[in-house]
Amino acid sequence: MDEEKTDAATLEKAEQGQAPLGDDVFRNRDGRAILVKKNVVLTGDYITDAGPGVDSQSGRSTVNVSLDARGARIFKEVTRENVGKRMAILLIEKGSTEVITAPVINEEIGGGRVQISGMANTQEATDISLLLRAGALAAPMDIIEERTVGPSMGEENIKRGMHSTLWGFAAIAVFMMIYYVMFGGISVIALSVNLLLLVALLSMLQATLTLPGLAAVALTLGMAIDANVLINERIREELRNGNTPQASIHAGYERAWDTILDSNVTTLIAGLALFMFGSGPVKGFAVVHVLGILTSMFSAVVVSRAIVNLLYGYRRKVSKLSIGQIYKA
């Protein structure tokens, strides 16, 4: 807030670059030049609150400003000593200065409540109130140096994550085919379908696969193959008990389903909790994790059983299953 000088001759000279010593020339919102003294009476540091309002007489939008105790005392003294003069209220933002309004001081104003008129509309009054509540308004910023950093580091991490997932998949595939022979190969095919379904779902959701997402994919592969291990071991157990191969396949899938469902539901609850209460990378991990549980249950039970039925279902008499060494007690 600066005291304004309104002498016409002095103002005309100031517009021509001959401003009096200690004065500055600023423009108001109408483009008219206003001569203002350089000494600042009050700054935004004295403002405790500011909000939009409406002038009860004119009905125009205003800004109601509350000053602290020291600011209220200074403002009271200034208005008492300058009755009949104008006081300019300046908005300084990003190096540019604009005169919001320059009302005439009709009387001494005390109490620390100031009303700024001259607002074009309610939105402008709200915006200026926000700036005033911020204290010193906008701080200037000078760009000293600007650089562009490439995504080489992130790209390298993504490549390592992809390689880890692929190597993990290959290790699982080798183990399953050695330990469970043909049934292990069926499990690997079901695992591949699981990975394909998971990527398809993420593509449909337009999700970005980050490092936490890759970690969730690797975890999904381990959980999905765990379900196939349960099924294969259940089939082996039925064969050890003397059941026929067809009956063992049927019993293996039926009896393993309850265990698979229980383990996946508990893990699904944990994944949903991470999604609900987590944020950022944790939430991304939870999304891939939950989707992976659903696809793994489908691929481990439906896809693998469909392939087994395709290979053995048409045979009425099956003498032996290619499921690896069956140890009998």
Q: Looking at the chain, list the stretches that DSSP marks H as alpha helix, in order from N- to C-terminal side.
A: 8-15, 69-81, 122-133, 152-204, 211-240, 245-277, 281-298, 304-312
Q: According to the model, what pLDDT value does residue 152 have?
A: 57
Q: According to the model, what pLDDT value does residue 7 have?
A: 59
Which of the 8 DSSP states describes residue 104? B
Closest by CA to 280, choosing from 213, 198, 221, is 213
Starting at the earlier edge strand, list the strands of the sheet with 47-54: 47-54, 61-67, 113-116
What per-residue string of b and e applies to 58-88 under the rule 16 or more CB within 10 Å gives b?
eeebbbbbbbeeebbebbbebbeebeeebbb
Starting at the earlier edge strand, list the strands of the sheet with 2-5: 23-27, 33-40, 2-5, 86-93, 96-101
Q: According to the model, what pLDDT value does residue 311 have?
A: 85
Contact 27, 60 (CB under 8 A): no
Integer CA distances (angstroms), 104 to 14, 48, 134, 322, in order:
21, 24, 26, 100
Integer CA distances (angstroms), 233 to 4, 179, 201, 254, 263, in order:
92, 11, 30, 13, 16
Return the domain boundaries, the chain. 2-133, 152-312
Contact 278, 286 (CB under 8 A): yes
Contact 236, 249 (CB under 8 A): no
Closest by CA to 165, choosing from 212, 131, 201, is 212
Note down pLDDT in tens along the chain; length 329 residues: 554 445 566 666 666 656 666 677 777 666 677 777 777 777 777 778 888 888 777 778 888 888 888 888 888 888 888 887 777 777 776 667 777 777 777 777 777 787 777 677 888 788 777 767 765 444 555 667 666 655 555 677 777 777 888 888 888 889 888 888 888 888 899 988 988 888 888 888 877 777 788 888 888 888 788 888 888 888 888 888 888 888 888 888 888 888 888 888 888 898 888 888 877 778 888 888 888 888 888 888 888 888 888 888 776 677 778 787 665 54
Q: Do domains 2-133 and 152-312 have the same CATH topology?
A: no
Q: According to the model, what pLDDT value does residue 142 have?
A: 65
Q: According to the model, what pLDDT value does residue 14 have?
A: 61
Q: According to the model, what pLDDT value does residue 141 have?
A: 55
Integer CA distances (angstroms), 324 to 195, 237, 316, in order:
25, 12, 22
Q: According to the model, what pLDDT value does residue 260 have?
A: 84
For the segment(s) 2-133, the CATH number from 3.40.50.720, 3.30.1360.200, 1.10.510.10, 3.40.50.300 is 3.30.1360.200
**Top-level class of domain 152-312:** mainly alpha
Matching residue, tokens 């390592």: 160
Integer CA distances (angstroms), 313 to 42, 235, 263, in order:
91, 15, 29
What per-residue string of b and e applies to 256-283 under the rule 16 or more CB within 10 Å gives b?
bbeebeebbeebeeebeebbeebeeeee
